[in-house]
Amino acid sequence: MNRNRRPDVAGIAGSAFFIVVGILAIWGARDFTPLGSVFPTTIAAAMIVFSAAYIAMSLLRSAGPAINPAGSTWRRSALVAVLLAWAFLLQHIGFLATSVAAYAALLVIANYDRWTPRVAVTYAAVGSALLGGLYAIFFFMLDVPLPQGLLR
């Protein structure tokens, strides 16, 4: 067994970044209503705990051999571009319209398989249920004001 393996430096750096993001999210949730702050605080706390666990695991356990991750650069770049566009357009266009467009774009980017009518209908139904459910939970149950944008 090779004992000269290095820890996953990129994974540790990414985890440290997400710990900082989680702390900032908890700090930002102070301005929400008590019920509205439950979801972001819970998700941020989970992100901090899992990131810290990954750092500990990576430091305590030797990393495996270096591998070349599967995928393509254009897909990764497009993923980042879509998520940034979603974040910046959310306030102007609105939560539902921006999220539907981002969901559709991410499906096109991430799907390696052949599109069939059945797959398209399934993805549309799952996306509608997911986005509608998230909207209902945030808006009606958690009383989080979502951006309305052009849909006012």
Instruction: Give the CA count within 13 Å in the CB-facing half-sphere of 77.
Output: 3
Q: Where in the chain are the domains?
A: 1-67, 70-152
Question: What angle is formed at CA 37 by the lines to CA 104 and CA 49, rounded to 5 degrees?
Answer: 80
Give residues with Cβ within 8 angstroms of 96, minimum separation 6: 131, 135, 151
pTM flag (> 0.75): no
Residue type, 144: V
Measured CA to CA, the distance from residue 86 to residue 93 in angstroms comes to 9
Over residues 106-136, the pLDDT tens digits come to: 999 988 888 899 999 999 999 999 999 988 8
